[in-house]
Structure formats: C-alpha cells, structure tokens
Structure 1
C-alpha cells in the first residue's frame, strides 16, 4: 500500500489536507491517515465529512482556536508531576476551546434543517470542566504569570517583596546621590549581582563601604559591592522572595492536582477535539477543491462524472468521465504520448484512495466509487539502477508481484503495459496479462501504445477500449477521454500537417498491411461518430437546462398572477364592503326617521322596517373560500406580534422568533445565533413557537486585582478575541469595575458584532452601548457591569 500511495501521489494530497488543520491534534490525524477497506467505516467517515461540509456551508467558520495538544501535560499531572504556569494556561485554553466547540455544534444541531448526528454525538461526549478552567484563570493570567490574587499569602509576600525592594533601592539611591560617595563610584547606578542589589565602587575605595564584594569588572578597577548598610535588608528581601517562590510552587502544585483529578476527561476531550479538527480539515479541503460526496459500493463499480485530479491547476485541468466494473471490468486506453493517459490512471487511483479515506472527491455529484480490499499500480519508469534492472524488467517485476497478490476485490492500474521490449512479444504478453487479471475478477485500467491491443476489447467479453483525443489541426492533445473508441496513431496526419511530401506518405501507407489500414479507418469513423453523439448530447443537456429555467420562470410568473388576482379580489371586496357600509348607515338614518314618524302617529308598519333592514343585510357581498383564506391570512399577519411568535424577516428572507416587544412598533428578533431589532412593517407572522431559552454564562468571582479599564482587541483573530473578552469581563468583575470599554475597531464589523452578541447574553453585563465620538465611536463598546 505504501508503494501505491507514493505512486498515486496520495502523500502529496495529504500535504494539501494539512493546510487546513487548526492544531497539532489534527495534524497527527492527517499524518496517520490511510485508506480503509471496510465499507461501514468508510461510510461513517464520509458522513462525518459531509456533516462538516454542511456546518461550513451554514456558518462559514469553526471555533477551533486556542486548542493545544496537552496530552503530555495531562499524563504528567496524572502521575503526580507538577505543571508550570504556561502549561496550565494551555490546559485552560484547551478547555475553553472544547467548551466553545461543544456549544457551537449543539447550536447548529438545534436548527431544523441541519441534522448532524455524528458531530452532535461527539459534542455530547465533551465535558466542559468549567470549574477547573475557572480555577486556573483566577490564579494565572494569559501570559503564564501567577497573579497576586491567587492566594492571600502570595499577595502579602509580594507586598513584602515590593516593600523591601523599595527600601533597598531607596538607601542605595541616597548613597549614589551623595556628594561624598559619588567620587567613590565608577557610575551612579544600582545593579544586581547574585540576586542582590549592589553598587559599582572604585577599587581604591573598597574599604569605605564595608559589606560584601559580589563581582568585579574585567579590568578589576570596579568592584560590585553590597554595602553593609543594606545587607540585612537584602537578606530580608531574599527570604521574602524564597517564600514567594514556595507559595507559587504550592499554588501550581494545587492546580496540577486538580488537573490530575480530571486527566482522563481531559484526554477524552482532546481525542474528540482532534476528531473535530480532522473532520473540518477534510470539509475545508472538499470546499477548496470543489468536491462532492461519492456513492460507495463493494462490487468494484466506478462511475466518475467530470472528475479532476486534485493536484492539478483547477483552471487548466480537463475533467474526465469514465465508468468501470459494470458491463466491463477491463478498460484499455490508447493514444499519443502526453495525451493524458497516465493522468487518467492517477486520477482514478487517487480519487479511489481519497474516497476510502473519508475524503470527498473532486467530481460532480452522483459519482460512485468502489471500496476495494487492495489497489495496485505500476505507473512510470521506476527502474532501479542499484538492481541493474531495465525499464521492461522493472515493470515486469511489479506486474509479477501484482498477479501474486491481487484478488477479485482489487483495482489494478498499469501504465504502458508490455512496454520496453520487442513490440510483437510485448503485445502478446500484454494480452495474456489482461486475460489473467480478467479471469480472476479484478478491475483493471491499462494504457498502451501497441496497435495489437486496439482490437483487444472487440473480441473480449467484459473489456472496452478508450482513447485520449488528439487534435490534428493544432497538433495538441485535448486530454478528453473517449470511452469505446481505441486511439489511432495519427502519424500520417501529423506528418502531412508538418509538411512531409504526399509521395513519401503514400509510399509509407503501402508498407502497412490491409488489416491495419482498415482498422485505422474504422477507428477514425468511430471517433467521428463519438464526437457527433457527444455534440448532440451536449445540445440536449443545454435544452433541458433551458426548459427547466423556462419552467421555473413560468411558475414564478403564475405565482405573481395569483398574487395579483388575490390582491384585486381583496380590493374589490373592500370596495364593496365600503359601499354596503355607506348604504347601511344611510338606511339606518332613514329607518330611524321612519320610527320617529311612527311615534308621531304616522302610518308606518314595523314589518316594513324589518323587511327594509333584511334587504340591506342580503345586499352584503359573500366571500368565496379563497377570499376567506386570504382574509384569514391577512388578519393573522396584521395582528400584533407577541414574544414567542415565529416570524419571517422580509428584508432578509429568514425565519426567526420574537424575543421582546421594544415598543414604538419595534421588536427584538433572534435569527439563528443573531439577535436584531426589527420594525413591525418588516415582520410577517408565520406560526406560533416557544420563546428561545437563553443559557446564562457562568461568571468569575473573587477579590479585586489590577486590570486595565479597557481591553484592546484590534488585530486579534475572532476566536481568540471572544476568549479574551469573556476572560476580561471576569477579571474586571474581580477588580471591582462598574464600567469598562472593549476596543474592537471598525474594520469589517465582525469583531464588533461578536462583542455585542457576547455581552448581551452575559449575566453580569447590565448594559452595553456604542461609545460616544470622544470615546472612540463605533470602534469602542462601553459596558456597565452588575
């Protein structure tokens, strides 16, 4: 298999795949990737890749930032080892990345039209370990420094260290600034030797300061002395620093013990995150090479539609369409050199290996690939100088090995079968080898120059010829594969185009036997027929496309006419109803007058009044069922939306859910992960649904410590920026701030939207607003904390 993967450039394809991994976890998975021979396993891999492609289509990005390979750290903690501050930060970052990924996949899975069961199953196995993440973040900052707030003892010790340092420097500065001592110093500076503060004293004044000599200059003219006056202070400082270091070690050991308790869970999370990284690398690779999910089978059947070699320039590669394993299991390709025969073999072989590795293939939707138990390839001149093998010997050595190891579930690819020896003997060997492979039931694709093999498929069941097309007019290959037609030499036609005299060409033709001449004529006729059929097929395909387009346009027009009809009916109904209303009001006035006349004793019968009113009621227009339906829809659409209603945002064409009535005919609507303010006129009520439940995010609690009142995100990647915002809010709360600023800049607006979304759902954020112009305008978001 290693030989086949090298010959078919599978390793080069994996290097393409490596460009899309987000961490060393994914890199390990790609580097270890080999094709599977189990149909069920390949099907699951393909389903995972397809789900990854669907998520990319819906969201466009994956939150895999911040994930580190912390397997070694977790295992070391598991056996009692202590982790450094930076290693603990990596573990916290990875836990955050896993938590983000879990939430992201669960959010996508909640969408009705996006079933991703395999990715969701992985997400459900991730355990967030929020408490461990919080413990690390409360003790260590993003730069791997253990903070003063990690413990009250550490805060006290660091205060002592700063106090002793201040006292030491103060005494030494008074010495360096004194007029009496400045002449004794080589330079009026304070420096450090052996972790103790010293001053540079001239050699001749050594005895003037007392104390301890820690170092001297290269010339010996300067001594670095710790004056006796500060020896005790330096001792106290050193002792405080030692206690500080011990306290830091105690804190790191405590955190390492917490990691040890959850080491197994961390390793499981890492395994799942590596799967995610690998799956989405495959999905991004599929998107880049415009690939599709192939159908799979175990009966040796291949059908590729406009397949392209993934390592060739997509703008210049000529797609190939081919079939193998149904009506025929042997495909013999003939044609000129540099015509694309070898590329065809490599394309079929590499795409089969890709499919069996769970990768989508660069071919049109509906392509099908078999899962073979073994694939063999003899492509290119691989003769060994060390073994003193000729080209023929090298090829024949490979073919002998292939014939020994192949079975009915094998795919065999042979380039230039029988080449490198006498044409007659080579052709005979080639035919015998092809017959042997066919009898054993394997699928074979072979290329050859031998004219004897051009007629091979005509008298062999289960075999078919193919050729790569050559344009005699331009003297260039077109690289198109023609199934069912053997290649012809084109030597005479090419020679004629290059100016060789007709007399020489005719004499050359006389040297060829009648059978060969007739064969070339038949091949030329078949090739011309194939071109005609292909042209007619292309025209028929275009007609179908045009017909489908016309049908869609007619349906759209019919829908518009139906809308216009209903609109006219509604207008007519409203006009008629208004007319009846006006008449009814007028009649009511008349009836009232008649009753007054009756009261005054004039002769007006009651039944006359009742009959008049009945006639007016009967004059009201009756609605048809279609009109009733239009009226019902109109009434539903015109009612006031309430929280929980499912609506369509007309300007976006997307469905969402009403979260809140903001007043002034404005509503807060959630579409997917996005919340927005929408006017009533831009909403159309569809159907009732439950309000979206928002899950509050946990916040950090603790004593205050020094943080800046603003966070600058400019230049940060999106995922890392969101991580920093969440961490910064926790830090700001610990520091006791009531209001802070998030500086994200204007740019494309992605960071600003991300910050807005995050702070809106944070339970400890009271309000969020765009900064005023003097505060930074739209490039700055000001948030008020609870």
Structure 2
C-alpha cells in the first residue's frame, strides 16, 4: 500500500507538466507543424518531439529557425530535401552484419548526394553560425556514393557492370532462356492439333503449354497444373524441362553473385556506419529547422526575445490553432490580443462573460511560451518579450473522474494541490494557468478559496493567470500590488463579447443588464437587484465604468500623440535630407567660386607683375606711367569690389531651379510657376507648396527679381485667394497620401490664404476624407466644409472656406 502511494506521488510530480502541455493542445499544434515537413522521417520526428527545458537548447533551436528562415527568404528557390531518405534503420542492420536490398543501398547513395548539396547551401559561419556549427560535420562520402551508383541502376537493379562474373552469368542466362523459348515455340508448331491454344503460360517460373486432356499421354514431360473444368492440362515438354533445369541453375548462380555484391556493399556501409548515422542525424536536424521555419512563416511569426525575468510583452498575438482553423477551414480570423505583465505582477485575474475568449487567451499565452521553447516564432505584431519558463502548470477543463469518484470541483482541487507540490521543487521560472478557479461549489466558499489560493500562488509561482467570475477577486488589485485585473471587452448593444483584453480594468457585472435587454420581466430584475448590496455594487460598477472611460481617453490621447510623433518624424527626415542636400550643394558651389576666384587672382597677379616690370623700365615715359596706373585701378575695381557687385545682381527663378525656403530653412525645387500671378509651385521632399518671391531666395542667397514680380502681380485684377472659381492655384491634390501627410500640405497652403480651397482626396475607402474633415472642423479659421459640385469632383473633392 505504501509502495502504491509512493508510485502515485512520483507519477504526479513527473507528469504534471506533460499533462499541462497536453491541456494547452500542444499535440494539435505538433500535428499542424508536422504537415510542413519535407519527408516522412521529418514528420515522425516532429510528432515525437519533446519540448526542451534547458535555456541553451531552446535558444539554439530558435537561432536555427531564424537563420534558415533568412536564408530561404534570400534564395531564388526553396531549400529542397528531395533525395533525403530515412536510412538510419538500414545502416543499423548493416552495422550488425546484415545485408540490405539494392534499393535500400541506392537510397543511402541518394542521401549522401543530397547532404553534399545542402552543405553547399547552408554552410556559412558568418551568416549562419548556429546552422554551420553542426552542418560542418557533414562528411562527404563521395567514394561510397560512387561505388553504389556504379553498381546499382536508377531503378534499383544491380548493374551488369557490378562484376565481370555477374555479367558473364547474365549473358549465359539470357542465351539459355532464348533457346528454351525456341524449343517451346517449335513444340507448339508441331502439335497444334493437340493444344487448346498457342499461348505460352507460366507455372512456378516454368513455361507451359495448354494440352487437351485426352492427348496428354502422347507426350513426355511434367504436368504443372490443370484447368478448373479438367479439360486442359498445363504441360512442360521433356525437351524444355532439361533446358529449364540449366536455367534454374544459372539463376541460382546469378542470385548468389548478386548477394555477394550486396554483402560487399553492406559491409562498406557497416565500416562507415558511425559517420553515416551522424549524417542522417544532421539532415534530420536541418529538416526540423526548416519545418519550424516554414510553419512560423505561414502563421506570420515574429522572433521572440527570451527574458530571464517574469516579464511578458506580447502585442497583437493571434492564437496559432485559430489561425489554422481560419486558413484551412475558412473559420473567422482570430482577434489579436495583447499581454502586458511586468516583473512586479504575480497574479493576473481575467474576468468577463462566457465564450468571451478568456480560456482561449489563457491557452494562447501558455502555447506561445511552449512555441518559443520549441524554437518556433510567435504570431504577433511585435517581437514578443517573454520569460523562459521551464515549468508550466495548467488546470483547464473538466477534471471529474468516475473511476476515482471525483466531482468537477474535487478534480480541480486535486490538480491544484499537485501544482502547488510541484512548485516546491521547481527549478527556473514558473507560470500557472488556472481556468475558473474555485468554481463547481458554493459561490461564497468558492470565492474565499479562490482568493486564498491565488495569494498562495503569488508567493510560490512567478506568474499566475486565472479566469474567474468572482467579483471579490477583482478587488485584490487595490489591496495587493502583486495583482492585476484584465477583462474581456463586451458589447452591451449586440450582447456579444469582443474577444479583446482590457488590461488594468476588471470586467463589469453584465447579468442584469443583459437580462433586461433580452426582455426579462422588470419585476424579476428589480427583485434581483434588491438582493445585491446596492451601494457596494453601484460603487464598484461606477469605479469600473470610470476606469473604462479613462482608458478610452488615454487610448485616444496615445493615438493622437503617435500621429503627432509620426508627423514630426516625417518633417524631421525631410528637413534633415534637405539640409544635407543644401550642405553638399553649397560646398560644391563654394568650390567652384574658389576655383574662379583663384583663376582671377592668378591672372591679376601676373598682370600686376608685368605692369610693375614696365614701371621699373628706365625707358618708360609719363604717358606709359599714366596708362599703367589707370590699369592698376581697373584691376582693383574688378577684384576687390567683385563681391559687393555680385550681391546686387538680381536672379530670375526658373522651373528646375533649387531654392531655399525662408520659413522652413530648407531646400526645395521649383516645379511650376505663374508669371502673371507671381506664384511659384515648389516641391520640398514629398510636400508641395505655392510661394511668392518673398518666401524664398537662391541657394547662395541670391534675391529673386522683385521688380518683375511686382509689375506682373499688379496686372492681375483679383488675388486668386478670393476666387470663387476653381483654378489650379486654389486646388490641392492629396490623393494617395496618409491623413497626417495631407494635413501638413494643406496647412502650408492655408497659412496665407482665404476663400475657398478645393481639396482633392478621392473616394477610396473614405478614411482620408473622414480624417481630413475631422481635422478641418477643429481649425478655428475654417468657416465651413462642403462637397464639391459633381462637375468639380463630387464626393471625391471637398471645399474648405478659409476665413
């Protein structure tokens, strides 16, 4: 009895995690994963795969998956395991002195060839250090491959070239078979009257003819068979029997020679069995990495980052089993959920309605931890940060047992007891996942027990997640900083869960409100409400409602901040790009000017030296001196005042010229101009603006030709800003842009504008139009917004009236 008890305890300790892994439906995921294997050998290996509990092993598997994924993404074609066979069993037979078939030997030869080709593709220590660390051990057994392929034909038949003796015996055998066929045909031709037909039959490898039973005594030979009616006997003539005996003898000699060759080749395999087994093991390891890679890519996996602390940051996680249902069985796509658990949180209580996705979320997190340990990528929108948990304990589902006389409640408590015992001996981080803790008994007692258990798990486990309907558990967060609340979002209008997790907010009680919407009698609802503690319930629900409203405000503020950051980053990138361009361009222009100035100085210097030489000449007269002095003054004016003169030179901007925009201190390019109106359309990065001559200058500070601009502007009777007729000057095309990008362009236009502006945004999905109209309505200098007339774009164009 004591021995039986000891056995039970041992079973509990050793199998609690295996049972937990099974409850998370890991076996189902393995089945899905195995379908991505290239060979049957690889499929079997995946199905029998055990999840490692060692950090270094899991990390290595993950690196292998990432490396082979990156390689296949960069290759022109997929990595192929065609020609790789499961050769381990046949190698083992050879190593024990056995002899294998020629077809089995050929599979070994093909596998050797495939291993060589894969090594060429995969071996690269710089790019793939983890894959290369064991791929390098693939020994090229080219000599074995040559021996086998020279001796065995592609269909598995031993070649005549395998040995001279075999070649001679086969030729002799073929000759004897031809002689026998001639004898049979001759017998048929000479005895047609006694035969049922002229077809040569076969009985036990011997040629026979169909003789009528009445004439069988006329011939010498062997009767091998008879027809079911008894009218025909299948007869081998005596002359053919002798020849057949010689053929049988030759066939036995051929078989013996073939067996000697198979024995010889099997010995070659035996002599190299250790290296060949290692090769098969490496190939299987590579195929497993490729299988993990292809499955991970199929589910949209991202590389997880292991933490040695109990931290979880998993954003946009989709349950992999639901992804399979969606892609393979056309089920609805899974709703992505987020998990945020910092190192101070020990227990997370998940509340919400039934069928709201609480259990799926619980299983999903557990499965993601198993996937990472198994070297799989996790389907999420970011690179998940998760703890390496070698200890995962789960209590999900109905644990009642008729055999052991356990109720549902007893089954849950029994399993929780085993989990607590296992936590006493755990090594490394642990996570506990509990579904409907404390359920199956009196609600008051169940709630009290659930609170006590969760506090115990907070002391013993690193992370515990528990789903519950008990309201008292929601309040633990406000008394113990180790607790956190999460609720499943619920739509009270449609009476359906949203399958979204709201972190930091407990789920509100929806029983009475749902019953009211369904139409339950009002008097029943009133009486039910009276049984509750009105003030306490109202206060709790009011707090929860306030938290939900605060969360929405924070979410909206976060989205606005993110949008502002995005706009700022875009503008920063543009300014940085323009600054770099301006800097490079300015350096080029300065270099050109320095070169020109250097030439001028050299020329002037040479001329001055020549003039000085003339002045020193004793034969120079007064007139020559006057002319030389005049020339020196001209040189002084040309070179010493050149800089001042250049500044006064005006500049006439043209299409294609690069300019400096004063307000932005950035560089742009003129792409269109309106000489009559005096306006210039300028492209600055991805933005376009309409500027006047006062808004810009040349790259090197040149001033635009103001006089010409002023004269042409005066000739216009009406400023286009006041025009109520759509023109190219009061129209902005923002189709194809994002909302924040379009806002920047429109705002630049509106700063020096009043009157109507036609904004062409297109129809599309309507997001651009909706976003722009909401933004414009918030500007105090926008008077009104309306759709353009049908001949001006209709719903695809909005008119904003600027005050």
| Structure-1-length-normalised TM-score | 0.68
Assess if the C-alpha contact under 8 Å between 2:210 and 2:233 holds in 1. yes
Give the 5 Å matches for 1:565-580.
Answer: none
Distance change in 2, residues 1:138/1:566 (3 Å): farther
Question: Match of 2:362, SS?
Answer: helix
Question: Match of 2:52, SS?
Answer: coil
Following the alignment from structure 1 to structure 2, what is the Cα–Cα distance between the partners of residues 567 and 244? 88
Q: Pick from 269, 273, 279: which aligns with 1:269?
A: 279
Distance change in 2, residues 1:569/1:175 (3 Å): farther
Q: Pick from 482, 487, 504: which aligns with 2:507?
A: 487
Following the alignment from structure 2 to structure 1, what is the Cα–Cα distance between the partners of residues 522 and 173? 103
Assess if the C-alpha contact under 8 Å between 1:465 and 1:485 holds in 2. yes
Other-structure match for 1:517: 538
Other-structure match for 1:349: 366
Using the TM superposition, give the Cα deviation of residue 515 of structure 1 relative to its aligned residue in structure 2, in angstroms: 1.5
Using the TM superposition, give the Cα deviation of residue 439 of structure 1 relative to its aligned residue in structure 2, in angstroms: 2.2
Distance change in 2, residues 1:263/1:512 (3 Å): same
Give the 5 Å matches for 1:22-101.
Answer: 22-59=38-75, 61-101=78-118
Assess if the C-alpha contact under 8 Å between 2:35 and 2:43 holds in 1. no
Question: Match of 2:321, SS?
Answer: coil
| Residue 468 of structure 2 corresponds to residue 458 of structure 1 | no
Distance change in 2, residues 1:498/1:217 (3 Å): closer
Following the alignment from structure 2 to structure 1, what is the Cα–Cα distance between the partners of residues 19 and 211? 73
Other-structure match for 1:211: 221
Following the alignment from structure 1 to structure 2, what is the Cα–Cα distance between the partners of residues 508 and 405? 43
State the number of aligned residues: 572
Distance change in 2, residues 1:221/1:122 (3 Å): same
Following the alignment from structure 1 to structure 2, what is the Cα–Cα distance between the partners of residues 22 and 511? 64
Following the alignment from structure 1 to structure 2, what is the Cα–Cα distance between the partners of residues 503 and 229? 111
Q: Bigger CA drift: 471-480 or 223-232?
A: 223-232
Assess if the C-alpha contact under 8 Å between 2:423 and 2:461 holds in 1. no
Q: Bigger CA drift: 355-364 or 556-565?
A: 556-565
Other-structure match for 2:20: 4
Following the alignment from structure 1 to structure 2, what is the Cα–Cα distance between the partners of residues 567 and 223? 108
Assess if the C-alpha contact under 8 Å between 2:304 and 2:372 holds in 1. yes
Using the TM superposition, give the Cα deviation of residue 382 of structure 1 relative to its aligned residue in structure 2, in angstroms: 2.2
| Residue 158 of structure 2 corresponds to residue 146 of structure 1 | yes
Using the TM superposition, give the Cα deviation of residue 220 of structure 1 relative to its aligned residue in structure 2, in angstroms: 3.4
Q: Bigger CA drift: 207-216 or 289-298?
A: 207-216
Other-structure match for 1:382: 399
Distance change in 2, residues 1:263/1:566 (3 Å): farther
| Residue 377 of structure 2 corresponds to residue 360 of structure 1 | yes
Distance change in 2, residues 1:568/1:63 (3 Å): farther
Using the TM superposition, give the Cα deviation of residue 218 of structure 1 relative to its aligned residue in structure 2, in angstroms: 3.1
Using the TM superposition, give the Cα deviation of residue 523 of structure 1 relative to its aligned residue in structure 2, in angstroms: 0.3
Other-structure match for 1:537: 558
Distance change in 2, residues 1:23/1:554 (3 Å): farther
Distance change in 2, residues 1:227/1:507 (3 Å): closer
Using the TM superposition, give the Cα deviation of residue 557 of structure 1 relative to its aligned residue in structure 2, in angstroms: 7.9
Listed one character per residue, the Cα deviations across residues 68-125 of structure 1 (whole Å, up to 9, x for unaligned) are 111121111112211111111111121122112112213xx28xxx710111122210
* RMSD of aligned Cα (Å): 3.1
Using the TM superposition, give the Cα deviation of residue 51 of structure 1 relative to its aligned residue in structure 2, in angstroms: 1.1
Other-structure match for 1:779: none
| Residue 252 of structure 2 corresponds to residue 231 of structure 1 | no
Assess if the C-alpha contact under 8 Å between 1:63 and 1:104 holds in 2. no
Assess if the C-alpha contact under 8 Å between 1:56 and 1:283 holds in 2. no
Following the alignment from structure 1 to structure 2, what is the Cα–Cα distance between the partners of residues 90 and 393? 56
Assess if the C-alpha contact under 8 Å between 1:53 and 1:280 holds in 2. yes
- Which consecutive residues of structure 1, in runs of 5 or more, have no partner in the other structure? 577-786
Assess if the C-alpha contact under 8 Å between 1:38 and 1:371 holds in 2. no
Listed one character per residue, the Cα deviations across residues 270-290 of structure 1 (whole Å, up to 9, x for unaligned) are 110110111111111110111
Assess if the C-alpha contact under 8 Å between 1:211 and 1:228 holds in 2. yes
- Which consecutive residues of structure 2, in runs of 5 or more, have no partner in the other structure? 1-16, 327-331, 597-803
Using the TM superposition, give the Cα deviation of residue 216 of structure 1 relative to its aligned residue in structure 2, in angstroms: 2.8
Distance change in 2, residues 1:188/1:553 (3 Å): farther
Listed one character per residue, the Cα deviations across residues 472-511 of structure 1 (whole Å, up to 9, x for unaligned) are 1221111111111111012343234334576765665444
